[in-house]
Amino acid sequence: MDTDDPTGRSSIAHPHRASRARLGLAGAGLAAALTLSACSGISLPTGDGGQVNLDLDGDGGSLTVTDEDGNEQNIDIETDDDSFAITDGDGNNIMSGGGGTEVPEDFPSDIPLPDGELQFSSSVTVDSGDNWSLTYLVPGDPVTVTEALRGEMDSAGFEEISSWQAEDASATVMEGNGYTVSLMTADAPDSEGTSVTYTVTQQS
């Protein structure tokens, strides 16, 4: 991947993230669900011989995931009134949402992103490769937004594999530059705009 990005993002992959995702992904979703419950001092089995230890309060806390071989991964959780952030022990983003959400540092720089409010982001690594998910709130109706985003992806070297379009929603799958991108749009009824979700998978 390129290391130069005009937006200031670095697309350098982190080698340690494969281990982090295998250990941390099981606990990250659980942490997001339990953080608001202010759970503390809880140990839960993962079903594969490992366990998740939680030490959370109303402002977040920490979580340790242990696999069946005894390997540990620390996860930190921070929350405030309208946002949350889950990071690994080195400060790398696993999942975040709400105010202050940022595009993961290792998100591919050759995938164009819309002008809008980033509401959610996640970044994980599994055996098959890196995966990212981003959700934006973008001004405009779904049809107009979808046409613009498809055009930007096409200009960036991505080929449309499949698509579906309705008045208030769409789904598009595109491939290029070593990635598969699923692009979904939907009318955002509580806001004046369109919800746009990117799901990006690194091709093996």
Walking along the chain (204 residues) 10 residues at a time, the average pLDDT comes out as 40 36 46 46 55 54 72 72 68 64 88 93 74 93 96 97 94 96 92 92 88
Q: Is 29 helix (H, G, I), strand (E, B) or coil?
A: helix
Q: Give pTM, 2 decimals.
A: 0.61
Please tell me the distance from the alpha carbon of residue 197 to that of residue 21, in angstroms, as a whole number. Answer: 21
Q: Is 145 helix (H, G, I), strand (E, B) or coil?
A: helix
Query: pLDDT by residue (tens digit) across 172-199?
Result: 999 999 999 999 999 997 878 999 999 9
Q: Concatenated DSSP letters for 44-107?
A: EE-SSS-EEEEEEETTEEEEEEE-TT--EEEEEEEE-SSEEEEEETTS-EEEEEETT----TTS
Query: pLDDT by residue (tens digit) across 97-124?
Result: 665 678 888 899 999 999 999 988 887 7
Comma-separated ranges of CATH 3.40.1000 domains in the chain: 90-204
Residue with tokens 């402002």: 59
Q: Is 142 helix (H, G, I), strand (E, B) or coil?
A: helix
The per-residue pLDDT for 77 is 72
Fold held by 90-204? Protein Transport Mog1p; Chain A (3.40.1000)
